[in-house]
Structure 1
Amino acid sequence: MTGLEERVGAAVARLPGLGEIAGFELAAAPVASPTHRATVSDCVRLDPRDASPVFLKIRHADCAADVSPVAAEAAARAAEAGVAPNVVATAEGALATEFLAPLWRYARVGDLQDVELLSETLAAKRRLHAASPIGWRFDPFERVRALAAEAAALGAPLPDGAAEMAAACDLAGAAIAAAGVDLAFCHNDGVASNVMLRDGPAGDRVRLVDFDLAGDNDPWFDVGALINEACRFEAERRAAIEAYAGACVERIYNRCRLYGAVDDVMWGLWGIVRAVGSKRPGIEFYKYGTWRLSHARATLGERGFEEWLRRL
């Protein structure tokens, strides 16, 4: 038996109601850079003998801290909101959802640069935000602090300027807290590959997946992280905020820019910490982490940074 077979067998034994499994195959190979897919969990397609295919996530022990305690509940609530696959079964460290057939594919950054697809993705996030809070707080600023502390404890080789970028996140956190935050149920994930796309009529072409970091947060973090991933120019960012909210006011634009930088620092530190702490070979955690920190450095170095802080 291979290691994956053992992990799948153990997970299936813990998951209720799947029935007899006729076979399975890897649904997504782990890639940290550039697509950031299947790194926290093994992602497997299960073929039950008497039911439709199932997508199974089996969490890796070295990434246990990367999954919120309400991830399974969040996935189910997102499905109820009509923006995510249905949940089939859950167990500690494992989640089974309906399998999105090959007509569906994961998004690349270039896909989300299409104005209509980005607007549909933002609309899906907005439907999450309209639901009631889930009861667990995701704090991106606290996550940056925790990852920075973990990096220091591990002696991780951080690039020049990492400490200053973490300090800038603290400044952003203080400024945003002073301006006020209204919490909502959030995806907390702006990575393009966690958006699934299919061809079809507008309004039904997008599903959100991977609710590992889902929790209650400022909904503008969801918007800021997504436009940080997809948009390269100011006009595109402003248009995306307008698509989400109906208008782009300056204080919201500034908040989204800050959140985009914080998201970069958070994932940058994550990549470097996991590169040191994970024993799984061949996953380019460090490359991903340094790329995200490089992007954060460029954003935090913009002349507008002080203005974003002051005008929230």
Structure 2
Amino acid sequence: MTDVDAATPSAVHTDLRRRLGDGRTISEQRAEDCLRRVTQWAGREVFYTPVSGGLQNSNWRVDVTGDPVAYFLKVPGEGTEDFIDRGNSHLAAVRAGELGISPRIVHFDAENGVEVIEFLEGYRACTNGDMKRWEVTESVLALQNAFHTIAPLPVTKTIFELIDEHLTQVKEIGVRLPSFAEPLLREYEAARAAYTASGLDIVPCHNDPMPGNFLVSPGKPMRMVDFEFASNNERAYDLAVTFTEYFYDEPAILRCIDAVYGTTSWDIVSRVQVASALADIKWGLWGCVNHQLNASWDYDFHKYGVWKLLRARTKVADPRWGQWLHAI
């Protein structure tokens, strides 16, 4: 739930194009500091242009005189290093690039997490509207399935570890959760017990399927970007967080499950349905925590977080919830 990590023509603010050295704002000067650290561009004429779409990071198109391609610069937002392992996300991006499902990595600065990737000309970020078309969803699922085949990542964070991290933050900084959170978290513990008893199906997962993280262009293959939340995780979670992000109804959910698993058997459906509640708990807590940590950002994290938790409460109130837990 971070950024649109590749640019579209309409997202590039060409009227704000700057030459390296002409930065005026704090954001531009920070971008210039990052660009100067790209050693292969030393002494060359470099231009940079802001790209909209970043929630926590600032994004820029970069043009280097003499290079036939453009580049995309992502400057991590302050504080994001508290919950993102930059080395892990970079390795995930490299391996996805090697598979041909993500743009090529051009430069990575391990010290500050700054990343430069190939700018995908002619591509645009998907929207929720795109995800209503099955052929688009099918491409998303295919990319995720391909990513599941890469070598294990350095970081293993299951959905339970992801949620527990936020629960620790809630206690440490005194985040006030809605009144219904306590019974919801009891069901979370019941889900943990069910998954633990059956065993987790751990594979490398993208974990962040917001539509803007999938790029499309007519006649070209879809590409996946933004691996900041990638980790080795439960396979069912990667699918569940996807259809919760896209607001799918039950027929669409079953179609997704069949596409990924080749079956809609009761045990598999149960596993994924429970994972969808966990997805909403994770991102609901994320929103509530970020409301307190990042009050300066122009985004209503609290509203987002409470809404996600409300949807998780609806899921655990489903008459089939107990049956799903038992079937896992």
TM-score calculated relative to the size of structure 2: 0.85
| Aligned-pair CA distance for 1:302 | 1.4
Alignment of 1:84-103 (within 5 A): 84-91=102-109, 92-101=112-121, 103=122
* Runs of 4+ in structure 1 over 6 Å off: none
Q: 1:60 aligns with which of 77, 94, 98?
A: 77
- Which residue in the other structure is 1:24 paired with? 48
Identity, in percent, stands at: 26
Whose relative contact order is higher, 1 or 2, with alpha carbons under 8 Å and at least 6 apart? 1
* Residues 30-75 of structure 1, C-alpha deviations (whole Å, 9 max, x = no match): xxxxxxxx22321221222232221111112222233234000101
CA contact (8 A) 2:159 2:234 kept: no
Read off the aligned partner of 1:7 and give its amino acid letter: R
Gaps of at least 5 residues in structure 2 are 1-23
Tell me the SS of whatever aligns to 1:17.
helix
Q: Which deviates the most, 127-136 or 157-166?
A: 157-166
Read off the aligned partner of 1:57 and give its amino acid letter: K
CA contact (8 A) 1:40 1:66 kept: no
Read off the aligned partner of 2:98 and give its amino acid letter: E
Count of residue pairs brought into register by the alignment: 300
| Aligned-pair CA distance for 1:18 | 4.0
- Which residue in the other structure is 1:81 paired with? 99
Q: Could you say if the C-alpha distance between residues 66 and 78 of structure 1 is closer, same or farther in structure 2, counting changes exceeding 3 Å?
A: same
Q: Distance in 2 between matches of 1:285 and 1:16?
A: 38
TM-score calculated relative to the size of structure 1: 0.89
Read off the aligned partner of 2:282 and give its amino acid letter: M
Q: Could you say if the C-alpha distance between residues 43 and 117 of structure 1 is closer, same or farther in structure 2, counting changes exceeding 3 Å?
A: same
- Which residue in the other structure is 1:34 paired with? none
- Which residue in the other structure is 2:221 paired with? 205
- The structure whose Rg is larger is 2
- Taking only aligned residues, the RMSD between alpha carbons, in angstroms, comes to 1.8
* Residues 181-223 of structure 1, C-alpha deviations (whole Å, 9 max, x = no match): 23211111122221212222xxx53211110011211222111
Alignment of 1:187-266 (within 5 A): 187-200=206-219, 204-266=220-282
Q: Distance in 2 between matches of 1:237 and 1:21?
A: 50
Q: 2:148 aligns with which of 123, 126, 129?
A: 129
Q: Within the alignment, does 1:303 sit opposite 2:323 as a pair?
A: no
Q: Distance in 1 between matches of 2:102 and 2:162?
A: 25
CA contact (8 A) 1:145 1:166 kept: no
* Residues 141-183 of structure 1, C-alpha deviations (whole Å, 9 max, x = no match): 1121221221232222322212333332232122112111232
Q: Distance in 1 between matches of 2:118 and 2:265?
A: 39
- Which residue in the other structure is 1:15 paired with? 38
Read off the aligned partner of 1:145 and give its amino acid letter: D
Read off the aligned partner of 1:229 and give its amino acid letter: E
Q: Distance in 1 between matches of 2:134 and 2:230?
A: 25
